[in-house]
Amino acid sequence: MDTIDLRSDTITRPTPAMCMAMANAKVGDDVFGEDPTVIRLEEMAAERMGKPAALFVASGTMGNLVSQLAHCRRGDEILLGDQSHVFIYEQGGSAAVGGLHPRILPNASDGTIGLDILEGAIRPDDVHFPRTGLILLENTHNRCGGRVLSPDYVAAVGRLARRNGIRLHMDGARIFNAAIALDRPPADLVAAADSVTFCLSKALGAPVGSVVCGEKRFIAEARRMRKLLGGGMRQAGVLAAAGIVALEEMVPRLAEDHENARRLAQGLTAIAGLVVDMATVETNLVYIKVAHATMTAPVLVDRLAEKGLKVLAASREYIRAVPTYHVSTRQIDAAVRIFRQCLGPA
Ligand SMILES: *Cc1c(COP(=O)(O)O)cnc(C)c1O
């Protein structure tokens, strides 16, 4: 029996084209600015995001952290959502490394933070208060169901930020999923942001890496911060080569993951004991609520694993499932059957 792995889009392995590109990559010392493949990836990424410059980093977490460090001074307050990846899953690096003061604001179920809530959280100039340095948004929003932020909302936050002399950073780990879902170029989705981080290593399939994009001066500072964190990589073109293939070949096919996510969600809505809100399945993430008399999400996850289906428990109540290019439509249908077997009358 083949295992069906829907735990995460981070499990994707490099494609044959990526392996070939990595083997043949022209490389140099990137800390000296001499790796032609890294330079090419950074130029491509900047162009895709509509920003003047870009920086290849080891991970999305590193991209978000160097961005915060480059935008802010120690002691600045940052405004971010209570469901955001930066707040929940990045070890509190903003404070632990950056000396930044997180101000946690409630995320609505669609991943937005109310404009009035943001406006109300901005600190007046007063000796008692930290200075507000940065707003962070996330698109698509992982813990809010992979929801897509509308370009209008991001533009409104951008105006609010500029009016108050604050920067806006977009954690766009899955910004290409948002772009595909909206059928718009990713640059349209981040036009109002001063910086954006996106991941090559998720559904785009590259083995390692993320890219930070923004103004030239910001990227120069982010480059310093990357070195400070130990992220100055030498012949990194070996990795960047796979990232180039990811950008050139893997973006349009994200639509297949989105279709499989809808197919999975649709199949699961018919199973008693599970609740999936179809309206929230906009991209590749499917959140499944376990509404069962005796079974919690972690217990169900173990039962599914025994039958060859791997998914993650996002909490006691919720399971997350993520189709990727390793998973066929046939396997999606098999996954629905395994759910039914585990929940049915047996
Ligand atoms: C995965 C992810 C990150 C961080 O990426 P890593 O490469 O795992 O460090 C950041 N933000 C969001 C929303 C993510 O899903």
Q: Both tokens of residue 208?
A: 């390692």
Could you write out the DSSP letters of every residue in 18-46?
A: HHHHHHT-----GGGT--HHHHHHHHHHH
What does the alpha-carbon distance between residue 12 and residue 257 come to, in Å, rounded to a whole number? 12
State the pLDDT at residue 293: 86
Per-domain residue ranges of the chain: 12-249, 253-342
State the pLDDT at residue 295: 92
State the pLDDT at residue 344: 76
Per-residue pLDDT of the chain (346 residues; tens, 9 = 90+): 689 999 999 999 999 999 999 999 999 999 999 999 999 999 999 999 999 999 999 999 999 999 999 999 999 999 999 999 999 999 999 999 999 999 999 999 999 999 999 999 999 999 999 999 999 999 999 999 999 999 999 999 999 999 999 999 999 999 999 999 999 999 999 999 999 999 999 999 999 999 999 999 999 999 999 999 999 999 999 999 999 999 999 999 999 999 999 999 999 999 999 999 999 999 999 999 999 888 999 999 999 999 999 999 999 999 999 999 999 999 999 999 999 999 976 4
What is the atom index within ligand 1 of the atom nearest the CA of 201? 7
The bridge status of strand 167-171 relative to strand 132-138 is parallel
Question: Is 85:171 a contact under the CB 8 Å cutoff?
Answer: yes
The bridge status of strand 318-321 relative to strand 312-313 is antiparallel
For a substitution probing ligand 1, which of 10, 62, 67, 89 has the most ligand atoms within 8 Å of its CB? 89
Give the predicted TM-score (pTM) of the model.
Answer: 0.96
Topology (CATH level 3) of domain 253-342: Aspartate Aminotransferase, domain 1 (3.90.1150)
What is the atom index within ligand 1 of the atom nearest the CA of 84? 13
State the pLDDT at residue 1: 63
What is the atom index within ligand 1 of the atom nearest the CA of 62? 9
**Residues in CB range of 154: below 8 A, 6 or more apart:** 137, 139, 170, 189, 190, 191, 192, 193
Q: Ligand 1 centre and the CA of 64: distance in Å?
A: 9
Q: Ligand 1 centre and the CA of 7: distance in Å?
A: 14
Q: List alpha helices for the chain, DSSP H.
A: 16-23, 36-49, 60-71, 85-88, 93-96, 115-121, 151-163, 175-182, 186-190, 216-228, 237-249, 254-269, 297-306, 329-343
Q: Both tokens of residue 335?
A: 């996954």
For a substitution probing ligand 1, which of 171, 195, 320 has the most ligand atoms within 8 Å of its CB? 171
The torsion angle over the Cα atoms of residues 262, 266, 267 and 269, rounded to 10 degrees, is 140
Residue 308's CB is within 10 A of a number of other CB atoms, namely 14
CATH node for 12-249: 3.40.640.10
Protein residue closest via CA to atom 14 of ligand 1: 173
Q: Ligand 1 centre and the CA of 346: distance in Å?
A: 38
What does the alpha-carbon distance between residue 19 and residue 215 come to, in Å, rounded to a whole number? 32
Is 253-342 the same fold as 12-249? no
Query: Any residues with Cβ below 6 Å from ligand 1, and which?
Result: 59-61, 85, 138, 142, 171, 173, 199, 201, 210
Q: Ligand 1 centre and the CA of 344: distance in Å?
A: 35
Question: Is 29:220 a contact under the CB 8 Å cutoff?
Answer: no
